Amino acid sequence: MKASKKPGGLTRRQFMAAGAMAGAAWATGCSSKHGSWESLSDDHAQTLAVLCDEIVPADDFPSASQAGVLIYIDHQLARHYRRFRKTYARGLEQTESISESQFRLHLTQASAEQRLDVVHALVQQNPAFFELVRKHTLEGYYGSPRHGGNRDAVSWRMLGVSEPPIRGRAQYDLTNKARS
Amino acid sequence: MKRVNAVIVGAGAAGGIVAKELATAGLSVVLLERGLWYTASDCRKDDLRNQRTTILGNAFGPDDEGNPRVWIDPRGNSHVVAPSEGSYQNNAACVGGGTLSYGAMAWRYMPQDFRMRSTYGAPAGSSLEDWPIGYDDLEPFYEKAEYEIGVSGDPAPNPFQGARRRGLPMPPLPPNREFGILEPAAKRLGLHPFPIPMLRNSVRYNGRGPCMRCRWCVGFACEVDAKNGSQNTVIPTALASGNCELRTQCMVKEILTDERGRARGVAYFDENGRLEEQLSDIVVVSACAIESARLLLNSKSRLFPNGLGNRYDQVGRHLQGHLYTGAVGFFDFETYDDVGPGASIAISDYNHGTPGLCGGGLLANEFIRLPIHTLDRLPPGTPRWGLGHKQAMRDYHRRTIVVMGPTQQIPMATGRATLDPMVKDQWGLPVARLEGNSHPHTTEIGDVQAERAAAWLKEAGAIQTSLMNGRPEIVSSGQHQAGTCRMGNDPKGSVVNRYCQIHDVDNVFVIDGSVHVTNGGFNPVLTIMAIAYMASDALLRNWKGTSYRS
């Protein structure tokens, strides 16, 4: 595959569908520069997904992008994190240029080892941006599902935290014993 | 608008109590609150947006838009900060104030806490001082707060507290798993553990049911109304008296004074942004330490060119809160039982009495952890991202105990809330400008407290511990803010007298954490409540029908 070829974009709708599937091998199709994301371009969303999935990779529980973390970040970049939109745009461009210069590949086309190399290079070259993505990714993955990033409370189930919490537990509380 | 006896600025812990005390005594009261009155249906449990974890903003105000402050960092750089940022040092803006969503620990300060200078001497660079009142003066009002607002607990096993005439009106909640792990360990160390007193129903009380022990407690409003604040106790009582009118979304611009230098009421922006005047016989400022100081400083006139009560440049000084330090313990067995509120056990062994240390603080286990809180509380050396981080989250979310506590701050005159000369809020009012840092001795005590927390956790079986003793570059910590309108007998070194009355102006009172001379090694709310009862009592004893004469 030629390094200069831009991969197909990924719309938000496709992304949500992709999240339900295992792995990051999503379908390509839509090529519009601005899909249905609120803040991100489709190209930037693809790059960001790679970063997010290095931060929370898939194992027997989903990766960050599979759990909807991009939806969380995209949504907040239009709201509470508006001030970071330019930081994201520049940082994601920088990530791509690292990939291009090291491997002559778009990040999404790079191998797993190459992706990790790119992320390590990014951590060296722009630690502030990587730290921002790390923070937002973990917030999305471990925070409330209402913001789009912890789909079906998957991280909470992973940690063994019930959702919804058991209500009215006072009536059934087994710890309600005399103090030792 | 009809003239009233008293206008109270701020419907939080103190303002609500003063409103109830005055209104039920027959005074006409207007209670002004800049925020909203939230109900049980507003109690959304959002771990990213609440009063404790403000990643996406505050749930109970103020809003990030239009309410800036300016923070001066230790290098002298100024930053315009929003309420959801830590250096803003926010407390909630709503009916109930911080008490709607607090953790609700209900501590009495100890007798030594009112005599810090006499007990220890003032460390160099500090403004450590004694209070003009003592524990014994406040004791009956602590009791009144415990019974009227409602506190559960068992003070008997704590030998370090001041004398008390009565126990608490409700027993403690049954112990959770962390209590069971930490209690025997503390006893093996020769310490004196006891259940944390809480402004929370453990049984039915005041017509409301007990805590259902969910994990969404500190930072959230209680959906079964088992957490006791001013919004579900004294404010409804004040309104039921028929003598109190609560006006929400009203931002007070300034206290108005007449030609003789007495207050005649306040000017405020109502919910539609219209500037109104509410005339009154007395004005009570209960807006929390930073905002109370800001209101006094914004109340400039010919007679008070530097703001009300500020003749000797004392308003806004001695800003303090608490330095929180402690430790995280990592265990090879499950410590998490999902039983709220989580915080359950404390020791008061280290509040006073360590040679070489000017005070100390309580240590207690932390409120229940949400997954978002475990992200930064993993064993040292854990990868910060990748599969290693994900695995550590799984390994430790349910095998971690945090012990920490509020180290009593050594106040400094350089810890200040002033007015920023440039930045204005949405109403065009100059905003608070915060500066100062922890006294070096406070940091020293905090480090000792962190080591003590780690030792307790190790005795309890922690296989690894990690100290939490960072160096925040701010003087205070949001909800515990205090000290900006110091209480004292000397008008040159304080703002109000022992009855919370401004030295300069006999019909203006500051009644909230602002008046704390020192802030104890404890969460301050019960002391704020007790002072509100005490000041109301003095005010009513001097009330002469239609006006106040000291």
| Residues in contact with B272: Cβ distance below 8 Å, sequence separation at least 6, in sequence order | none
For residue A8, what pLDDT is reported? Answer: 40
Quote the distance between the C-alpha of residue B107 and its chain's center: 11
A169/B372 Cβ within 8 A: no
Q: Is the pLDDT of residue A15 over 90?
A: no
For residue B549, what pLDDT is reported? Answer: 47
Name the stretches of chain B with pLDDT < 70. 40-41, 477, 546-550
Distance CA B359, CA B396 (A): 33
User: For testing the chain A interface, which of B214, B215, B338, B390 should be mutated: the one with the most A CBs within 10 Å?
Assistant: B390
A80/B56 Cβ within 8 A: yes
Q: Is the pLDDT of residue A175 over 70?
A: no
Q: Contact B542/B501 with Cβ under 8 angstroms?
A: no
- What is the rounded average pLDDT of the residues A73-100? 97
DSSP bridge partners of B80: B70
- Residues B36, B39, B41, B47: what is their CA dihedral angle, to the nearest 10 degrees? 70
Half-sphere exposure of B77 (CA within 13 A, CB side): 5
Q: Is the link from the previous residue into B111 a cis peptide, with omega within 30 of 0?
A: no
| Chain B residue at shortest CA distance from A157 | B394
Q: Which domains does chain B have, with CATH numbers?
A: 4-548 (3.50.50.60)
Q: Which strand ranges, in their side-by-side order, compose the sheet holding B322-330?
A: B194-195, B345-347, B363-365, B400-408, B322-330, B464-468
| Residues in contact with B395: Cβ distance below 8 Å, sequence separation at least 6, in sequence order | none
Residue B199: both structure tokens together: 């402004």
Using a cut of 0.90, tell me whether the model's pTM lies above it: yes
Q: Contact A68/A144 with Cβ under 8 angstroms?
A: no
Among A124, A116, A149, A145, CA closest to A135: A149
Distance CA A54, CA A129 (A): 14
Distance CA B137, CA B148 (A): 18
Distance CA B514, CA B213 (A): 33
Percent of chain A past pLDDT 70, that is, above it, reads 71
Q: Contact B407/B324 with Cβ under 8 angstroms?
A: yes
Q: Output b/e per residue, A81-114; b: 16+ Cβ within 10 A.
A: beebeebbeebbebbbebbeeebebbbbbbeeee
CB neighbours (10 Å) of residue A176? 14
* Full 3-state SS string of chain A: CCCCCCCCCCCHHHHHHHHHCCCCCCCCCCCCCCCCCCCCCHHHHHHHHHHHHHHCCCCCCCCCCCCCHHHHHHHHHCCCCHHHHHHHHHHHHHHHHHHHHHHCCCHHHCCHHHHHHHHHHHHHHCHHHHHHHHHHHHHHHHCCHHHCCCHHHHHHHHHCCCCCCCCCHHHHCCCCCCCC
User: For testing the chain B interface, which of A162, A175, A176, A180 should be mutated: the one with the most B CBs within 10 Å?
Assistant: A175
Among A54, A47, A46, CA closest to A26: A46
For residue B223, what pLDDT is reported? Answer: 84
Residues of A near B (CB-CB distance < 8 A)?
Answer: 54-57, 59, 61, 76, 79-80, 134, 137-139, 142-144, 146-147, 155-156, 158-162, 165-170, 173, 175-177, 179-180
Among B473, B337, B465, B318, CA closest to B404: B465
User: What is the pLDDT confidence band of residue A165, given thresholds at 50, 70 and 90?
Assistant: low
Q: Is the pLDDT of residue A177 over 70?
A: no
Could you read off the pLDDT of B386-408 as tens digits, one per residue?
999 999 999 999 999 999 999 99
Could you read off the pLDDT of A42-76 as tens digits, one per residue?
999 999 999 999 999 999 999 999 999 999 999 99
Secondary structure letter of residue B463 according to DSSP: S
User: For testing the chain A interface, which of B50, B52, B56 should be mutated: the one with the most A CBs within 10 Å?
Assistant: B56
Distance CA A92, CA A136 (A): 14
Q: Contact B40/B259 with Cβ under 8 angstroms?
A: no
Mean pLDDT for chain A overall: 81
Mean pLDDT for chain B overall: 96
For residue A166, what pLDDT is reported? Answer: 56
Q: DSSP strand E in B250-367: where?
A: 251-257, 263-269, 275-285, 322-330, 345-347, 363-365
- Chain A residues whose CB is inside 8 A of the B196 CB are none
B375/A142 Cβ within 8 A: yes
For residue B404, what pLDDT is reported? Answer: 98
- Span of A16-30, A49-63, A143-157, B263-277 with lowest mean pLDDT: A16-30
Distance CA B161, CA B181 (A): 24
A144/B212 Cβ within 8 A: no
Q: Contact B275/B286 with Cβ under 8 angstroms?
A: no
Of the two residues B246 and A17, the one the predictor is more confident about is B246
> How do beta strands B400-408 and B363-365 pair?
antiparallel
Q: DSSP strand E in B22-139: where?
A: 29-32, 69-72, 78-81
Q: Contact A36/A24 with Cβ under 8 angstroms?
A: no
B174/A177 Cβ within 8 A: yes
